Amino acid sequence: MKLPAWLRKALVAAITVSTFGLVTPPASLLAAKEPPSDDASSPDWQHNSVGRADEAGSLTRAQFIEQTIEKAATQSHEKFGRKIAPVIEEEFRTVILPRIETVIAELAERYPEDELRYLAVSENPSGGQGERIFHLYRVDTGEDLLRFHVRREHPPQDGYWFQFHYHTCEDGFQAHYELGKIYWSKNTPPNWRT
């Protein structure tokens, strides 16, 4: 039986949140209709995004932040995949995710509550070596507001690190605003989403 996309996404979010990301949702729930693009500039992520514009009523800032963080955690867990997630998940949730929440809360403060329903989290984080975790954008205009990324760093003689950062539309997505780093090991990490 094929479940509707909204129900699959809700089940993935529920499993991820209720187990603090320690249990990977079944592959049948995670299966995408088409493979995600690794190109950060590709518009594919927008076409598969779940927006709030069609929901009745407005969101409070607290509801917006809570729902957005849940989606951010789900997209991050999907990006990490089953090989990377168990190693970095705890540090991600305790160090990086609260910093992401702060950035999202600052963005929410700039919008009237009745416009928060137009802000959405993109889906389909990039795999392979791509940096994209998720973007926060306006559903009504398609305009990117924030881009949350992670890249691998390999300083000489220091092992591998995952450097989490975000970009903002205010400077044309040029600057990297660091959220934090998580150490992997001396060994090369696997590709994202594996």
* Residue 14, H or E segment: helix 5-18
Q: Band of the pLDDT at 58, cuts 50, 70, 90?
A: confident
Q: 102: how many CB neighbours lie within 10 A of its CB?
A: 12
What's the mean pLDDT when you consider all of the chain? 83
Per-residue pLDDT, 46: 44
Per-residue pLDDT, 172: 93
Residue 68 clears pLDDT 90, i.e. is over it: yes
Task: Return the higher-pLDDT residue of 43 and 106.
Answer: 106
Which one, of 164, 163, 143, 145, lies nearest residue 154 by Cα?
Answer: 163
**pTM given for the model:** 0.72
Q: Band of the pLDDT at 16, cuts 50, 70, 90?
A: confident
Domain boundaries, the chain: 5-183
Q: Per-residue pLDDT tens for 82-91?
A: 999 999 999 9
Angle at 175 between CA 169 and CA 177, to 5 degrees: 95
